Every structure is written in structure tokens, then in C-alpha cells.
């Protein structure tokens, strides 16, 4: 029995005292549909008395409708969640289950076993302390067993229970079980799983799940529940020497208090301790530690805190307060193992967002060294990663970040990649090591600076970025503006979408990915030209907000003037200066902005021009006024 019903009835106070101090274990179950995984989880829930009468009634009716156990209860139905999955009889996502005994509370990540669901398994494994890997005693170690074990090891899980299921169907044979265990151990050691406990059991009948089986006198090990209740999972040592505290939020209720909130990711934080603020270099001393229930003198990994520092140093979200003696590494390039999770393939050199801990930065995969065949563990060369592929890659960031190697600390070494357009999580990575290049290759420091160049021209450089639908009138206005500036003696240049596509960007088409790259290159060119001191006019459809934001971030604040040339689609289509809308409507042009490719209007442009109300000449004048307000043109 998993909970002590007698003590609950007789001495509830004492029972609750004990309950408040029990621990928490997160584990993942791996196995295919046929291995009886859902049945095993259903049995754990059932045996820990977490199935209530009304749920039992529902289970009985479901068992008759969808069950695979004839007249018997199908425990697997307790855990199959979404309606679509019930119809197909498979589990297609990660589901989290909860049960508890008197010793521990458990969170189970229940994930599907098929190869096409690698991403789900990786997701489930990312938060697990322990893995339960199921094998069918009749079949032994299969290709998928190896795949699951590899993924478990990749995500940094070291403790594994090998649940040899359906032993009732092999006559509870010790020889069969021993052969499977030997087979598994030789493979497991190779991939770094050296803490394996093999447990013969039957999820369907209940042998060795919570109760010892009467049929296997030869087995001396724990039941599965016994293992889960007692397995030790601590690898972290709570030393101040290894402190990592990623800052989540700067806490400023008023001018008298400035605290930094976050969860200790590693080690311990102690009042009086010296810390370094990474990736910068400033050093200060911890003056107070506020925990969830008041002031503390010390807090350890896993605890949420708000700390204050002795000095007015610059600290913002994404920085890591780190011990001074053993600080985290800082780099802007590293090698990582990447799991690709999106339908759209990984595009090397494409700009993604990377989130590591609480820090979000721009990132690109610069090189794919190889991908791994998850079934054979062979290395295969690759130029891209597709859904569920796992590859070893070089990743370059647009600024340095603080991190630890993933195998040292998951919170400091695990990151996700986010698509800038859709906001979706497209990949997950584990940092292997920093690439030396990044620390050795410094930015070439140039002695003739941007301001020196601009001064020679007697002006302030900037980017004036025109965005809008095809035919909105961007180039017309840009052209008028340039003539006006030129006449005033300003040094300008105009980058026009059509022209650039004939040269620099002639290798690019009109898919979303190509549009992104098109704008990225132009933004970089505009940035270089601003460095030379020029006023750069850019006239590009540039349909996506993310890319325009990226262009803005490349230059300094106050150097970017976004001009939204706002022409309703019907008006632009009616004008149709280049005849493109007609072609697009006839289906001769695909991916045409406004027709079958989206346009995301700017939310707060510096200048918003409604071309149905304002003439091109007046529009140019409006921009000049705005540039004066921004201090770019003199008054």
C-alpha cells in the first residue's frame, strides 16, 4: 500500500508533518506502445490510490469502448490524454502525471516511443532525474531501446531503471532476464549510463511494481516503486565556490531598494560573498539574501532569492552572478549538440534567437559538424538538420554569454533556439565547450571611428528605413528625400530592393527564409555604411517585424528612422505600377507580399505616411521634419 491509510485516520497531524518534508523525484518513462508503458504508469497511479471512484467508473466505460484488454480494465486508458490520441490508440505528446507515496512525490513525463517523436522524448527527459526504460521480456533489447537510452544519456540522465516487462509471459525465467540485463549493460556503459538497475516486472499483473512478486524468488533487488522512492539523485554540491545565479528580474520597489531576483542554478549564495557579474567583469559583495519566507544568510541551488549588492554595479536581466574563484565561462561561440524540433529545417547562418537561462541573444548555427544516427549512433555528415535530427554544431552569438558545459550543469548549459518570425521553439541545444576562437579573435579595434568619419562629412549618420507593400510608393518617396538631402549638402546613399536583388542578393528568392536573409544582408550593409558616416536610405518591402527590429538593433539608438509607407492593398493593387499584382493574382508569381505572403505592419514607426492622404513631396518633407526632431539634421 502506497499511503498509510491507518495513520491518516488516526493521527493526521503527525502524518501531515511527515508529508510536508517528503522529497520530489521527476522521472521519464521510455518504451514503445507495445512495451506496456502506459499500462505501467496506469498501474503506478492505481496502486498509489490516485484513481478515484468516478475516474474508475469512467475507466470502466472507456475500457469497453476503446480498451485492448477484453473484459478487463485497461489501465493504459488512464493516461492517454488528448481525444485524437485516444482515437488513434497512440500517445503523441508529452504528458505529465503525478502521484505520491509517503516517501516522495513523483512527476512522470510520459512520452511516445516512435522515432518521429524524438523531440517529445527529449523534452520529457530534459527535466527528469531518472529514466525508466521499458523492454519487453519476450523481445529483449531492440533498436528503439538503444535510441531511448542514447537520448536519456544525451540529456544528462545517469540513473536508469531497466524495467524488464511482461516477465509473466516468459515464465518468470531468471535466464531470460539475466541475458537481457547483460546485453543492456554492455551497451549502456558505452554511452555513459553506468548506474543501471534492472528490475523484472509485469505491469499488467503487478509483479514487482509496488509489491514483491511471489513468482521470482531468485530476484533480490528492489521493486520499481522501491527503487523510485530511494534512488539518490543529487549531483550538485552546495558550495559558494560554484555559485551561479542568473538574474531574472531587477526588483526596484522604490529608490531605497535595488535587488536582483533569480533562482540559484548552482552552488550556494552567502551574505558577505564576493560575486562577479558576468558576462561583464564588475565585482561586488552580497549584502542580503531574501528567500521566499524572509531573510536568509545562505541559499542553495534550487531556491528562489532576491539579493542585494554592496556597490552600484550595472546588473540587468540575463546577467549571471557568479562566484569569483570559479566563475562561469564567457564566450560568443561554442560547440553544442542540437536537437531539431521544427518541421522547417535548420538553416545554417540564419538568425535565430537563443535563450539560455534568462538571457535571450541573437544566434546562428555556423557549421554542422555531423549528425548522429540515433539508431546506430553513427556520425553522418550533414548540411542541414531536419525534424528530430540530432547534430553537433558550431553556434555563434551576437554577444558573449555566461554558461557552463551542459554536463556540469543543465540550467547553465541547456538552451533553446526560437524562430524570429513565428516565435516557435525550433531547437534545443546542450553546450559542449566554448570555441577558443571566440576568446582569441577580438574585434579589430579601428582608430578612425564612425564619429570621426561623420565629422569629416559634417553630419550625423543614420538609417532611414522605408517599409511597405510592393507599389506603396517607397522608392518614389525615398528618391525625393535623397534629392532633397543631397541638395542640402548631405552625404547619402539609397539601397533599393529591386536593385540590390540584381546584385548582392541575386541568389535569393521570395520564400520566407530568403526574405529574412535578403533583409539581413541589407541591414548589415546599411550598418557598415552608417559606420562610414553616411545617411543611408533603405527602400525594401521588408515584410517582417523581426527583421526590421534586427536592422534597428544593428545601429545605435537614435540612428534608425523607420518610415511606414502605408498604402492599402486595394490601392497598391489598383496602381500596380510594375504589373506584379496582376501576375500574382493570375498565380504566375508565388509568395507575393499581401497576396499569399504576409506583411506585418510596424507597430510604432518613427514616421507613418498614409499615401492616400499625403503626396510624395509632402511625405519627404515629413521625414525631414522628423529627422530634425531626432537631431540628425540641424534645425
Partner 1 sequence: MSEQPETVQPVADELTRSQQSHLDRLEAESIYIMREAVAESERPVMLYSVGKDSAVMVHLASKAFAPSRLPFPLLHVDTTWKFRAMYELRNAMAERLGVELLVHQNPECVRLGINPFTHGSQVHTDMWKTQGLKQALDKYGFDLAFGGARRDEEKSRAKERVFSVRSAQHRWDPKRQRPELWSVYNVRTTMGETIRAFPLSNWTELDIWQYIRREQIPIVPLYFAAERPVVERNGTLIMVDDDRMPLEPGEEPMLKKVRFRTLGCYPLTGAVESEADTLTAIVQEMLLATTSERQGRVIDHDAAASMEAKKQEGYF
Cell of 195: 548506474
Kind plus residue range of the DSSP H or E element containing 46: helix 37-47
Pairing of strands 359-372, 379-380: antiparallel
Residue nearer to partner 1 on the CB measure, 78 or 177: 78
Across the chain, which distance is largest between two alpha carbons, in Å? Answer: 98
Taking the complex as a whole, the smallest distance from the CB of residue 340 to partner 1 amounts, in Å, to: 11
Taking the complex as a whole, the smallest distance from the CB of residue 527 to partner 1 amounts, in Å, to: 24
Round to whole Å and give the CA distance between 37 and 619.
66
The answer to whether residues 412 and 326 touch, using CB atoms and an 8 Å cutoff, is no
Residue nearer to partner 1 on the CB measure, 82 or 441: 82
Kind plus residue range of the DSSP H or E element containing 222: none
The answer to whether residues 348 and 338 touch, using CB atoms and an 8 Å cutoff, is no
Q: Is the peptide bond before 279 cis (omega within 30 degrees of 0)?
A: yes
Taking the complex as a whole, the smallest distance from the CB of residue 467 to partner 1 amounts, in Å, to: 16
Using CA of residue 445, residue 448, residue 452, residue 454, what is the dihedral sign? negative
Which residues, in sequence order, are CB contacts of 148 under 8 Å at separation 6+? Answer: 30, 31, 113, 121, 131, 133
Active-site position among 38, 100, 542, 597: 542
Round to whole Å and give the CA distance between 123 and 129.
13
User: Which parts of 155-297 fold into alpha helices (H)?
Assistant: 174-190, 224-230
Using CA of residue 294, residue 297, residue 302, residue 307, what is the dihedral sign? positive
Taking the complex as a whole, the smallest distance from the CB of residue 209 to partner 1 amounts, in Å, to: 21
- Residue 634: exposure state from Cβ atoms within 10 A (0-12, 13-18, ≥19): exposed
Q: Is the peptide bond before 278 cis (omega within 30 degrees of 0)?
A: no
**Residue among 519, 488, 456, 526 nearest 623 (CA):** 488
Radius of gyration of the chain (CA): 31
Cell of 162: 531497466
Helix, strand and coil in the chain, % to nearest 5 = 30, 30, 40
Round to whole Å and give the CA distance between 70 and 68.
6
Cell of 48: 498509489
542 is catalytic: yes
Cell of 384: 542541414
Taking the complex as a whole, the smallest distance from the CB of residue 507 to partner 1 amounts, in Å, to: 27
First to last CA, the chain: 84
The answer to whether residues 247 and 262 touch, using CB atoms and an 8 Å cutoff, is yes
Round to whole Å and give the CA distance between 374 and 390.
8
Kind plus residue range of the DSSP H or E element containing 244: strand 244-246
Taking the complex as a whole, the smallest distance from the CB of residue 92 to partner 1 amounts, in Å, to: 9
Taking the complex as a whole, the smallest distance from the CB of residue 47 to partner 1 amounts, in Å, to: 16
- Residue 440: exposure state from Cβ atoms within 10 A (0-12, 13-18, ≥19): exposed
**Residue among 112, 221, 117 nearest 163 (CA):** 221
Catalytic residues: 542
Amino acid at each position: 500500500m502506497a499511503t498509510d491509510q491507518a495513520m491518516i485516520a488516526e493521527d493526521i497531524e503527525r502524518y501531515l508533518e511527515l508529508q510536508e518534508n517528503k522529497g520530489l523525484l521527476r522521472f521519464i518513462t521510455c518504451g514503445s506502445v507495445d512495451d506496456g508503458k502506459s499500462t505501467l504508469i496506469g498501474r503506478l497511479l492505481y496502486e498509489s490510490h490516485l484513481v478515484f471512484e468516478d475516474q474508475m467508473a469512467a475507466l470502466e466505460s472507456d475500457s469497453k469502448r476503446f480498451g485492448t484488454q477484453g473484459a478487463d480494465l485497461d489501465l493504459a486508458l488512464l493516461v492517454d490524454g488528448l481525444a485524437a490520441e485516444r482515437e488513434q490508440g497512440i500517445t503523441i505528446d508529452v504528458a505529465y502525471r503525478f502521484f505520491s507515496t509517503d516517501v516522495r512525490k513523483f512527476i512522470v513525463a510520459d512520452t511516445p516511443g516512435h522515432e518521429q517523436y524524438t523531440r517529445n522524448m527529449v523534452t520529457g527527459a530534459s527535466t527528469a532525474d531518472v529514466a525508466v526504460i521499458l523492454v519487453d521480456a519476450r523481445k529483449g533489447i531492440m533498436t528503439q531501446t538503444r535510441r531511448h537510452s542514447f537520448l536519456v544519456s544525451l540529456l544528462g540522465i545517469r540513473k536508469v531503471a531497466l524495467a524488464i516487462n511482461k516477465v509473466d509471459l516468459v515464465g518468470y525465467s531468471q535466464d531470460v532476464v539475466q541475458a537481457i540485463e547483460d546485453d543492456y549493460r554492455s551497451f549502456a556503459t558505452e554511452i555513459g549510463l553506468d548506474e543501471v538497475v534492472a528490475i523484472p516486472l509485469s505491469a499488467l499483473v503487478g509483479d514487482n511494481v509496488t509489491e514483491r512478486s511471489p513468482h521470482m524468488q531468485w530476484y533480490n533487488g528492489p521493486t520499481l516503486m522501491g527503487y523510485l522512492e530511494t534512488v539518490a539523485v543529487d549531483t550538485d554540491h552546495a558550495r559558494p565556490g560554484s555559485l551561479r545565479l542568473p538574474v531574472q528580474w531587477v526588483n526596484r520597489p522604490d529608490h531605497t531598494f535595488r535587488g536582483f531576483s533569480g533562482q540559484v542554478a548552482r552552488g550556494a549564495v552567502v551574505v558577505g560573498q564576493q560575486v562577479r557579474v558576468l558576462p561583464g567583469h564588475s565585482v561586488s559583495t552580497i549584502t542580503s539574501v531574501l528567500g521566499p519566507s524572509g531573510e536568509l544568510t545562505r541559499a542553495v541551488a534550487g531556491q528562489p532569492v532576491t539579493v542585494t549588492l554592496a556597490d552600484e554595479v550595472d546588473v540587468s536581466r540575463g546577467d549571471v552572478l557568479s562566484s569569483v574563484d570559479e566563475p562561469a565561462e564567457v564566450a560568443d561561440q561554442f560547440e553544442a549538440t542540437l536537437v531539431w524540433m521544427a518541421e522547417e529545417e535548420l538553416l545554417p547562418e540564419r538568425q535565430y534567437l537563443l535563450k539560455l537561462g534568462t538571457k535571450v541573444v541573437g544566434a546562428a548555427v555556423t557549421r554542422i559538424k555531423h549528425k548522429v544516427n540515433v539508431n546506430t549512433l553513427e556520425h553522418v555528415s550533414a548540411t542541414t538538420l531536419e525534424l528530430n535530427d540530432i547534430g553537433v554544431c558550431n553556434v555563434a552569438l551576437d554577444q558573449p554569454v555566461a554558461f557552463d558545459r551542459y554536463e556540469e550543469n543543465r540550467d547553465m548549459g541547456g538552451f533553446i533556439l526560437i524562430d524570429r518570425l513565428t516565435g516557435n521553439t525550433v531547437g534545443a541545444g546542450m553546450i559542449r565547450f566554448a570555441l577558443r576562437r571566440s576568446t582569441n579573435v577580438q574585434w579589430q579595434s579601428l582608430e578612425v571611428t564612425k564619429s570621426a568619419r561623420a565629422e569629416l562629412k559634417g553630419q550625423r549618420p543614420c538609417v532611414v528605413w522605408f517599409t511597405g507593400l510592393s507599389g506603396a510608393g517607397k522608392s518614389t518617396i525615398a528618391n525625393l528625400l535623397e534629392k532633397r538631402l543631397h541638395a542640402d549638402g548631405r552625404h547619402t546613399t539609397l539601397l533599393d530592393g529591386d536593385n540590390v536583388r540584381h546584385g548582392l542578393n541575386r541568389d535569393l528568392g521570395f520564400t520566407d527564409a530568403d526574405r529574412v536573409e535578403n533583409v539581413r544582408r541589407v541591414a548589415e550593409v546599411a550598418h557598415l555604411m552608417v559606420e562610414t558616416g553616411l545617411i543611408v536610405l533603405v527602400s525594401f518591402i521588408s515584410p517582417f517585424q523581426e527583421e526590421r527590429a534586427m536592422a534597428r538593433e544593428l545601429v545605435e539608438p537614435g540612428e534608425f528612422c523607420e518610415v511606414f509607407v502605408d498604402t492599402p492593398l486595394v490601392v497598391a493593387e489598383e496602381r500596380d505600377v510594375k504589373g506584379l499584382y496582376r501576375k500574382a493574382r493570375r498565380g504566375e508569381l508565388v509568395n507575393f507580399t499581401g497576396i499569399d505572403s504576409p506583411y506585418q505592419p510596424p507597430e510604432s514607426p518613427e514616421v507613418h505616411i498614409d499615401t492616400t492622404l499625403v503626396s510624395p513631396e509632402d511625405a519627404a518633407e515629413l521625414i525631414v521634419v522628423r529627422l530634425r526632431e531626432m537631431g540628425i539634421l540641424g534645425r
